[in-house]
A and B are shown apart, each in its own frame.
Chain A
């Protein structure tokens, strides 16, 4: 009996003493931290991808609280919904930022761009790029060793062994830009995801002169400038023998896609192939394939598309290259 009492007393005393010590220590060494930081970390996706430009989600949350506003701050993983939550915690309005997605600007599949040699060093794009032009005659395109895939935190990039170039899963891609930084040839660009994921871009970054580029790759941009002339909105610029479509200006009319002689301009997620004279059959197949996932809606969308075409023709008639706000309004009413 005595033993039981003694042990209870001793243990109780130790417990009390520890509690007192802990209390004072906690008081003394308390880290002052804004509760809102933890709250924001809670709502953030926790991918720690660094896509926002800060060191992980904690860093982003700290920066948001410190600045007190959400200007120039955007979480590419969570997108607008998460930013609204962050905004409500901070009591400020979240600025609208369009979702972005990574785009591989290279058409150099094995079929388009034949291999001229075999690389036998460390399988790393940067190492290969610092040694020489790459396994093909094109010194600008995708090297296919997957530096971007290694840099991607979302598992959105894979090297396709059949085509020899990388492919991006746009469902998984959050547009953080880690891949674009990792690519030594700057093949990957972060572009606007676009309405319903529809995008038009030049799938080539080859700066060689037309003949050289064409010799290296069947689907290379040869810098002919046809697209530049065709574009009703002035969204396309040809510089250093390669065309570039400004995604902020492009209205997805796809006139350039039809016009491009090599099929270097890609349109994705459009339910139907671009109209007007039949383009390259390869291109057609691609778009049809890509349209498959949205098949249930196809009929509906098709109706829409027809309308689009009608309006577009009008649009071109009425309003030529001078496009202020009118086309915008047209687009909005359409979709």
Chain B
């Protein structure tokens, strides 16, 4: 006979199911990456996933001495997201370092899933970006048609890094939508990412608040800059479709642990990310600002949680 306090039924949701939903939503983008970057993308992603899982297992077993937590798939997701943010020709040992920083420093130092203040995958990515700037900013060209190339692929700068240097060389919109452009291998195809977004919305894994507020803010910010005729201004649509904006706003910024809990807080958080991203892109030294923007807003999240409280039932309005 079992006795417990109420309630006695559950909607059968679990952390594992939510994580798996995000992974499923990433499949289209992964397919596109395999198509354009082939062997390199496969290698980088497998190395990242394997080292993330290994790192979490080691720490859980030998440092925390707690039961294995790989079952909730969060390490797997971190590995996938980290690899999506890397160029597909990155040396294997750099990927391993990134994965260990992501899990070891970004997540397990704070006590594992749920306690980390920053998105682990982004911690890993930014660590690599700062430590290995050269390797991290040379992206292979897509569609080299060769499945055997990994680190010796031909490389080139992305549109955003060229823009940062003052060269405007607009790629075609169809290429941006489909992913036929250079970049970290998970971020190239806008359509694949949007399919994932729709899937996440349908399964109610995430709500629209964070991604939409980021996208609208970036669109508005860069649009105003464009209309005012700022230096090197390009159409806001280009900003939306290039770089890690969509990947970041749909999959990274919406990470449960590091985003605010209330809907209102999520809008503030999204707007914050949008503004910081645009500022970095338009005036900063880095061509791409999404990762930094998300990390900065992750740091603000506890404050948002503290100050933005949900609307209570029957709240007496102060007169």
Contact = CB atoms under 8 A, between A and B. Distances in A.
A binds B: yes
15 contacts: A116-B1, A117-B3, A118-B1, A118-B2, A118-B3, A119-B2, A119-B3, A119-B4, A120-B2, A120-B4, A121-B5, A122-B5, A131-B3, A131-B4, A132-B3
Contacts of B1: 116-118
A135 B2 CA distance: 9
B5 A131 contact: yes
A135 B5 CA distance: 13
Interface string B1-15: 111110000000000
A65 to B, nearest CB: 38
Interface string A96-134: 000000000000000000001111111000010001100
A187 B245 CA distance: 60
Contact of B2 (A117, A127, A131): A117
B6 to A, nearest CB: 9
Q: How large is the interface on A (under 10, 10 to 19, 20 to 34, 35 or more residues)?
A: 10 to 19
A53 B1 CA distance: 42
Contacts of A131: 3-5
Interface in B63-107: none
A142 to B, nearest CB: 17
Interface string A19-47: 00000000000000000000000000000
Chain A interface SS verdict (over half) = loop
B8 to A, nearest CB: 9
Interface string B270-298: 00000000000000000000000000000
A56 B4 CA distance: 37
Contacts of A127: 5
A96 B299 CA distance: 54
B9 to A, nearest CB: 13
Contacts of A117: 1-3
Given A117-B2, A119-B3, A120-B2, 5 more contacts: A119-B4, A120-B3, A120-B4, A121-B4, A131-B4
B100 to A, nearest CB: 34
Contacts of A132: 3
Contacts of B5: 121-122, 127, 131
A118 B4 CA distance: 8
A121 B2 CA distance: 10
Contacts of A120: 2-4
A117 B1 CA distance: 5
A74 to B, nearest CB: 38
Interface in B1-40: 1-5
A307 to B, nearest CB: 51
A126 to B, nearest CB: 12
Nearest to B8: A120
Interface in A252-284: none
A186 to B, nearest CB: 22
B65 to A, nearest CB: 17
B275 to A, nearest CB: 40
Nearest to B1: A117
Nearest to A116: B1
A302 to B, nearest CB: 45
Contacts of B2: 117-120
Nearest to A131: B5
Nearest to A133: B3
A120 B10 CA distance: 14
A157 to B, nearest CB: 21
Contacts of B4: 119-121, 131
A132 to B, nearest CB: 6
A78 B84 CA distance: 59
A236 B5 CA distance: 39
Nearest to B3: A117
B243 to A, nearest CB: 46
Nearest to A132: B3
The 10 closest A-B pairs by CB, nearest first: A120-B4, A117-B1, A121-B4, A121-B5, A118-B2, A117-B3, A131-B5, A120-B2, A119-B3, A132-B3
